[in-house]
């Protein structure tokens, strides 16, 4: 396939011969034909799916875009891949990514940089699931699997003009997914529209599937209890469950940051106006702990990554460095293997995580970050109308509320059904500029996606129109942005239905 969908042989990271391409074309064509023939069969999900290269799939290598796993073939298949195969889906290819999911622009791969879609090749495709997003936008797959740790599905969706969905933590199995940060990692789905995702999650019952192999997968009894408190799971019917009329959408005032691109801000306001035209209500809300969420994330995620990646030593897991007579360096076993096997960004996060877990730093960094995480989750629970089925309900402390937020009544500010905000603070940056960015500059792009990940909430990015000055070529090219909707825990079905109904109203142009 092309540069953003990797063939199962490692050397095909750079090119695939025409015969192999024709074979994949025939496979995709048969999938499309099957979709036509089985359209009336509600139990079949006949679609071609691209699988991110950190998710195990039979017949394909799983390298996590890292030299240390070059040529690795996992002897089992990820549960989510198996579930989609059972529902009639077929694998069209493995998608490129940032190494071990660590990156914002899909530029940290050991094999290739991911470029945006045709016509936007010089711009970032977002990360770390950039390959999955481009595969969907280019028509290589009808549905793609990615992983979302702090926005790695939603960010590429925003940069490529498609839909990216991160479900509630614990809904989809992570078994067979190479972990980055266990308490944050979530399997996500990308598609051209919301419908294929809603069909898979709700219509084909993926939300019901408990996996005993995955300790973070919600047990069946808890799933039933959570589902009983929610609407929209009885069937995939957006027309019935996604009406905007009567819903309240919250606009977090803390998200109106100085770094927000004026065009993205204007697109956000235009989307809010569309919601009001459709009968919804838009109100300001306060999430006071948001300002600390990004810092907490970049303490917790690298700490968990340092632990997860400790096993890649060339002895238990990974390719051993055989180019030198000894794998040790200054008496440290397997140092050369890890030095040559990991890229710079991965090594940076291992060092950061190892430090924050050290005895001298744990109390000041890791423990404090976990406390911030609890505050972030508490902020979300307070602003939603629905209670979190996994948490006790907590009242809003009015002393912590911003002065700009109006009170609904004596109990506090208005509560909302969903939160509305941009997915990314800017349009896709030029790859040339990305390569000049400092790590901190790259991390800042996750400022709107990280809070929902810390709280384990469902979130979806849908494309929205941006205002365009037609005298400026870049604005004509980048005429779209990402609009993010965040829901309460396990309100995934209603979130998907609302996103499906809202999508054609906030994106009225046809993306090429």
Per-residue confidence band for 120, with pLDDT thresholds at 50, 70 and 90 = very high
pLDDT, tens digit, for every residue of 467-506?
999 999 999 999 999 999 999 999 999 999 999 999 999 9
| pLDDT score, position 396 | 65
| pLDDT score, position 393 | 75
pLDDT, tens digit, for every residue of 456-476?
999 999 999 999 999 999 999
> Is 128 considered catalytic here?
yes
- Cβ burial, residue 147 (10 Å; 0-12/13-18/19+): buried
Q: How many CA atoms lie within 13 A of 406 on its CB side?
A: 6
pLDDT, tens digit, for every residue of 1-34?
444 444 444 333 333 322 233 333 334 434 344 3
| pLDDT score, position 277 | 97
Q: Take residue 287 and report the two structure tokens written for it.
A: 């999430």
pLDDT, tens digit, for every residue of 51-97?
999 999 999 999 999 999 999 999 999 999 999 999 999 999 999 99
Residue of 152, 168, 442, 461 marked active site: 152
> Is 40 considered catalytic here?
no
Q: How many CA atoms lie within 13 A of 56 on its CB side?
A: 18
Mean pLDDT across the stretch 296-307? 97
Mean pLDDT across the stretch 348-352? 96
Question: Angle at the Cα of 272 (from 267 to 277), degrees rounded to 5?
Answer: 120
What single string gives the DSSP state of each residue in 272-340?
A: HHHHHHTT-EEEEE--TTHHHHHHHHHHHHHHHHHHHGGGBSSSSBS----SSS-S-BTTBTTHHHHHH
| pLDDT score, position 414 | 86
Find out whether 466 and 267 touch, Cβ atoms under 8 Å: yes
Find out whether 400 and 230 touch, Cβ atoms under 8 Å: no
Mean pLDDT across the stretch 273-283? 97
Find out whether 333 and 327 touch, Cβ atoms under 8 Å: yes
Answer whether residue 182 shows pLDDT above 70: yes
Mean pLDDT across the stretch 151-162? 98
Residue of 66, 124, 128, 132 marked active site: 128
> Is 235 considered catalytic here?
no
Query: Which residue shows structure tokens 């599905």?
Result: 153
Residue of 52, 94, 274, 377 marked active site: 52
pLDDT, tens digit, for every residue of 402-441?
666 677 776 677 899 999 999 999 999 999 999 999 998 9
Find out whether 136 and 192 touch, Cβ atoms under 8 Å: yes
């Amino acid at each position: 396939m092309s540069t953003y969908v990797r063939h199962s042989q490692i050397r095909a990271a750079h090119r695939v011969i025409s015969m192999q391409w024709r074979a994949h074309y025939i496979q995709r064509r048969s999938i499309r034909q099957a979709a036509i023939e089985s359209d009336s069969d509600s139990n079949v999900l006949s679609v071609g799916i691209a699988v991110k290269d950190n998710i195990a799939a039979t017949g394909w290598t799983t390298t996590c875009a890292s030299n240390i796993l070059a040529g690795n073939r996992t002897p089992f298949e990820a549960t989510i891949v198996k579930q989609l195969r059972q529902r009639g889906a077929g694998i069209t290819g493995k998608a490129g990514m940032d190494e071990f999911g660590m990156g914002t622009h899909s530029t940290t791969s050991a094999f290739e940089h991911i470029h945006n879609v045709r016509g936007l090749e010089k711009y970032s495709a977002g990360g770390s699931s950039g390959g999955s997003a481009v595969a969907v936008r280019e028509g290589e797959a009808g549905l793609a699997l990615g992983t979302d740790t702090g926005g790695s599905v939603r960010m590429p969706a925003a940069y490529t003009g498609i839909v990216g969905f991160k479900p509630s933590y614990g809904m989809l199995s992570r078994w067979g997914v190479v972990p980055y940060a266990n308490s944050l990692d979530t399997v996500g789905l990308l598609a051209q529209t919301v419908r294929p995702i809603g069909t898979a999650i709700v219509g084909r019952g993926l939300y019901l599937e408990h996996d005993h192999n995955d300790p973070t997968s919600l047990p069946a009894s808890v799933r039933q209890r959570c589902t009983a408190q929610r609407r929209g799971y009885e069937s995939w019917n957006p027309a019935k469950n996604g009406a905007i009329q009567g819903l309240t959408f919250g606009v977090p005032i803390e998200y109106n940051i100085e770094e927000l691109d004026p065009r993205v801000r204007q697109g956000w306001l235009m989307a809010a106006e569309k919601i009001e035209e459709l009968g919804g209500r838009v109100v300001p809300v306060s999430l006071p702990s948001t300002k600390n969420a990004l810092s907490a994330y970049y303490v917790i995620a690298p700490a968990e990554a340092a632990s997860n990646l400790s096993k890649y030593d060339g002895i238990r897991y990974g390719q051993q460095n055989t180019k030198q007579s000894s794998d040790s360096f200054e008496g440290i076993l397997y140092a050369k293997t890890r030095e040559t096997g990991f890229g710079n960004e991965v090594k940076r996060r291992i060092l950061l995580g190892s430090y924050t877990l050290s005895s001298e730093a744990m109390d000041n960094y890791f423990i404090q970050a976990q406390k911030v995480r609890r505050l972030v989750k508490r902020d979300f629970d307070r602003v939603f109308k629905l209670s979190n089925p996994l948490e006790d309900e907590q009242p809003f402390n009015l002393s912590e509320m911003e002065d700009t937020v109006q009170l609904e009544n004596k109990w506090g500010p208005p509560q909302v059904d969903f939160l509305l905000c941009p997915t990314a603070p800017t349009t896709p940056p030029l790859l040339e500029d990305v390569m000049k960015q400092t790590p901190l500059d790259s991390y800042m792009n996750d400022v709107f996606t990280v809070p929902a990940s810390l709280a384990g909430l469902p979130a979806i990015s849908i494309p929205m129109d941006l205002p365009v000055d037609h005298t400026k070529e870049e604005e004509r090219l980048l005429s779209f942005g990402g609009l993010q909707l965040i829901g309460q825990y396990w309100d995934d079905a209603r979130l998907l239905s609302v996103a499906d109904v809202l999508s054609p109203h906030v994106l009225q142009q046809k993306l090429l």
